[in-house]
Amino acid sequence: MKFLFYKINSRIIFLLASIFILVFNQGLFASEIDNKNYLYQEMEKGEVSAPVVMIEYASLTCSHCAEFYKSVFPKLKRNYIDKGLLRMVHREIYFDRVGLWAALIARCSNNKEKYFGILKILYEDQKRWSGSNDNDTIVEELLKVSAKAGMSRASAISCLEDENKALELVRKFKSYVKKDEIESTPTFVINGIKYSNRSFEELKEIIEKNLRN
């Protein structure tokens, strides 16, 4: 078992080293980000025709993002998303290697419903899987998250080792961080206007204003 984790982590560490070199090399892949047709799946809830679109930029290791998902998102879903008034897009920000690993688990199937189900578990169990500096412990806890979501261990490990998807996610991350000038999480872009972290009442006011326009 220990050997298995070593094998997994050695691959992931090599992958992450390569990826984060790309992240901090601002000029690399710039033309590809703009022009290449990636298979990136936008993860969103709500009707395509909803009059208000809210993009949430979140780090899966961010405690404020976890709190937003637990306490604010359910109210937004009940009051606006389920009524066809709001479409919400969830985009990950990769401030650290662990957040990227978690995203690879969440995006394993590229299925939106499964993604949000795994997202819920990741945020609920955030302290458990993100609180260690030990790679073996982090991988084990993420595999527990995937198991809760009904994913086989082999599938989860395969997703963690998916270098092409990881590179694709980071390329897209670089593109939208530059476009929307994202510096912290959570950050919201609502019908094109950027906002820092907000309470439900504050977001409600912004959404209602957009609905009246």
Minimum mean pLDDT range among 13-22, 127-136, 144-153, 188-197: 13-22
Query: Residue 86 corresponds to which tokens in the numbers above?
Result: 């709001």
pLDDT in tens, 26-40: 444 433 434 344 468
Question: What pLDDT does 23 receive?
Answer: 46
Separation between Cα atoms, residue 107 and residue 145, nearest integer Å: 13
pLDDT in tens, 135-193: 889 999 999 999 999 999 999 999 998 888 988 999 899 999 999 999 999 999 999 99
pTM, full prediction: 0.84
CA nearest neighbour of 120 among 99, 141, 106, 101? 106
Separation between Cα atoms, residue 67 and residue 28, nearest integer Å: 35
Question: What pLDDT does 164 receive?
Answer: 87
- Answer for the pair 210, 87: CB distance below 8 angstroms, yes or no: no
Top-tier CATH class for 2-23+40-212: alpha beta
CA nearest neighbour of 157 among 146, 165, 167? 146
Q: Where are the domains of the chain?
A: 2-23+40-212
Question: What pLDDT does 138 receive?
Answer: 92
Question: What pLDDT does 161 receive?
Answer: 87
- Answer for the pair 117, 104: CB distance below 8 angstroms, yes or no: no
List, edge to edge, every strand of the sheet that includes 43-45: 43-45, 86-92, 52-58, 187-190, 193-195
pLDDT surpassing 80 at residue 127: yes
Query: Residue 97 corresponds to which tokens in the numbers above?
Result: 């290697």
Question: What pLDDT does 73 receive?
Answer: 97
